[in-house]
Amino acid sequence: AQRVTQPEKLLSVFKGAPVELKCNYSYSGSPELFWYVQYSRQRLQLLLRHISRESIKGFTADLNKGETSFHLKKPFAQEEDSAMYYCALGQGGSEKLVFGKGTKLTVNP
């Protein structure tokens, strides 16, 4: 079964420190992976997707098919990065996404 695991419910770092939000997936086909972010009192929005291979707000994520991972990284965290982050898996042949349970990131001053 398709599954997305985000092992950390909560993650707390200090401003300027590197941050890595982990995402592992289980899927036998060719995955399409996304990171979504929800800032306080805002709607859930797309942060980045693996096929774009771009950096958004300083965040990057690399698909590692060998480790079935799609970890989200930022070298220097900012306070405005504090939010809920969800990793999502798209499955070929279906237009649905499977979401992880989310990681709440807090960046302390």
Residues that bind another protein (CB under 8 A): 9, 32, 34, 43-46, 49, 51, 86, 90-97, 99-102
CB of 90: closest distance to another protein in angstroms? 3
**Residues 88 and 36 sit within 8 Å (Cβ to Cβ):** yes
CB of 15: closest distance to another protein in angstroms? 26
Between 77 and 85, CB nearer to another protein: 85
Between 4 and 19, CB nearer to another protein: 4
Radius of gyration over alpha carbons of the chain, in Å?
13
CB of 28: closest distance to another protein in angstroms? 14
Query: Where would I find the beta strands (DSSP E) of 50-96?
Result: 60-61, 72-74, 83-90
CB of 43: closest distance to another protein in angstroms? 5
How many CB atoms are located within 10 Å of the residue 84 CB? 14
Query: Where would I find the beta strands (DSSP E) of 6-99?
Result: 10-14, 19-21, 24-26, 32-38, 45-49, 60-61, 72-74, 83-90, 97-99
Between 49 and 74, CB nearer to another protein: 49
Between 15 and 44, CB nearer to another protein: 44
